[in-house]
Structure 1
Amino acid sequence: MKSFLSFIFVVFILSASGQNQAVKIALAKYNGGGDWYSDPTALPNLIEFCNQNLNTNINPEPSTVEIGSPEIFNYPYVEMTGHGNVIFSESEAINLRIYLEGGGFLHCDDNYGIDEYFRREMKKVFPDKEFIELPPSHSIFHQKYNFNEGLPKIHEHDNKRPQAFGLFIEDRMVCLYTYESDLGDGWEDEAVHNDPYETREKALKMGANIISYVFGQ
């Protein structure tokens, strides 16, 4: 198993370091009835912003990948969102755990309503681990763009403060969960939510920090 995980990590490194080959990232498709497909313009807009402002080479068309599919190992970064229920089967939980242990990264952005379900299902993936809230001093908030107060607030849900939580394997963050912020809505096309430019820019800059942090780990 250890050599297999090392192989996955080497594949990610080779993919990310290719000078002419764009890295592909993906949107997670999951079971349970939740709308995994919400915010359809979010990830393409974030990719465009990162390619323009971070000089990344990410394929402009994100893929869709199922949690239990072996295809997930083709993507060093997987985005997840939604409003409702999430269910990981036992095999899906095992697949996701191997992916994360092997060098992959999952960012789940609560689009309002996914919280209890996502936390429950991640316990299947890592029964012995807990989400740790990231303080404003964490480096993910201080990549190219500085967020001295931590995770920005993009949309109001229950008038709670925005929080960012990480799951770690030793010193490496393998999963980021952003709650009460709704970054994905801020990444969407302007016409979708009619957010002002300053709000969308703030969301995109935080998203760029996440991408920068993930590929810099």
Structure 2
Amino acid sequence: MRRRDFLELLTLGTAALALPRPARAAVPAASQLAIGQLEHGGRWNPRPTALRRLQWELAQRTSIETAPEAVPVRAGRPGLHRLPFLYLAGDGAFPPFTEPERAALRRHLQHGGFLLVDSADGSDGGGFDASARRELAALLPASPLLRVAREHVLYKSFYLLDHQGGRLLVKPWLEAQLLDGRLAVLYSQNDLGGAWARGALGEWEYACTPGGEAQRETAFRLGVNVAMYALCTDYKDDAVHLPFILRRRS
């Protein structure tokens, strides 16, 4: 090869190396699960790190692609339809939602949306509990809160669960409001967010009582099941899953 030809090839090769490489395609935001945290007039974000950690756990434990952060959202603002999984938490009483906010949230649930309500203050009959029950009764007046049966598909949507988790164990059951047989609203009084919350240095922010770390793990497993149910509803009730589920229970 002549020296001139060699130098031309060398120049072309160097130029090719200098060209910017095509970037990896970013995962579209629409393909990621971002939990929408509903704002209200009280302490609406009592566990600021909880949903971030839950979304991280979801990504590690399942095939769900999650956003790095939850999305704060007002019930009456645009964009609610982009968030199939909503989360309403609080510490203490909060003022009523406006009628337009209730109407927007009701419409969201009627079109397939899901709402997890989580009491952070351990209240039962007062505080957040009283405000949440008032709002849920106004939100879906034809669908009263009912205990979720242990046999419900929620408890086998990913993990097989037979007890509750959370920072506290105020109630050994969950309550729900149904729309066309589907759990549209799920209510926990056990402060799930308090069990999920983890600080920047990796420390758990709150102790779980009375069950300790096993109770925290159950809270995460319940959170995973809730997310799977919010996205897939009752697919695990199909009879094809029954033999496998019975083998795991035995």
User: What TM-score results when the alignment is normalised by the length of structure 2?
Assistant: 0.72
Is 1:104 the counterpart of 2:106? The answer is: no
What is the CA–CA distance in structure 2 between the aligned matches of 1:127 and 1:205, rounded to whole Å?
30
Which residue in 2 is equivalent to 1:28? 38
Which aligned pairs between 1:66-145 and structure 2 lie closer than 5 A? 66-86=74-94, 87-112=96-121, 113-145=127-159
The answer for the alignment partner of 1:38 in structure 2 is 46
* 1:152 corresponds to: 165
* Distance in 2 between residues matched to 1:40 and 1:193, nearest whole Å: 13
Q: Percent identity?
A: 26
Amino acid corresponding to residue 111 of structure 2 in structure 1: G
Q: Which amino acid aligns with 2:135?
A: E
Contact 1:153 1:162 in 2 (8 A): no
Unaligned runs of 5+ in 1: 1-17
1:51-96 alpha-carbon deviations (Å, 9 max, x no partner): 1101111112111001221221110001111122231111111111
CA contact 2:119–2:191 (8 Å) conserved in 1: yes
Q: After the TM superposition, which parts of structure 1 deviate over 6 Å for at least 4 consecutive aligned residues?
A: none
1:168 aligns with one of 155, 178, 181 = 178
Summarize the Cα distance change of 1:137–1:89 in structure 2 as closer, same or farther, 3 Å threshold. Answer: same
CA, structure 1 residues 25+19, in 2 after alignment: closer, same or farther (shift >3 Å)? closer
Q: 1:111 is aligned with what amino acid?
A: A
What is the root-mean-square deviation of aligned Cα atoms in Å? 1.9
Query: Which piece of structure 1 moves more, 186-195 or 207-216?
Result: 186-195
Specify whether residues 19 and 95 from structure 1 end up closer, same or farther in structure 2 by C-alpha distance, changes over 3 A only.
closer
- The one-letter amino acid paired with 2:168 is H
Q: 1:177 to 1:72 in 2, by over 3 A?
A: same
Cα drift, residue 122 of structure 1: 1.6
* 1:94-123 C-alpha deviation (Å, 9 max, x unpaired): 111011101111100111231111111122
Amino acid paired to 2:152: H
Shift of 1:216: 1.0
After TM superposition, the score normalised by the length of structure 1 is 0.82
The code of the aligned residue for 1:173 comes to L
**Aligned length in residues:** 193
Larger Rg: 2
> Are the counterparts in 2 of residues 153 and 161 from structure 1 also a CA contact under 8 Å?
no
CA distance in 1, matches of 2:160, 2:207: 25
Give the letter for the 1:38 counterpart. P
Is the alpha carbon distance of 1:153 and 1:37 closer, same or farther for their aligned partners in structure 2, counting shifts above 3 Å?
Answer: closer
Which runs of 5 or more structure 2 residues have no equivalent in the other structure?
A: 1-27, 122-126, 234-250
Q: CA deviation at 1:148?
A: 1.7
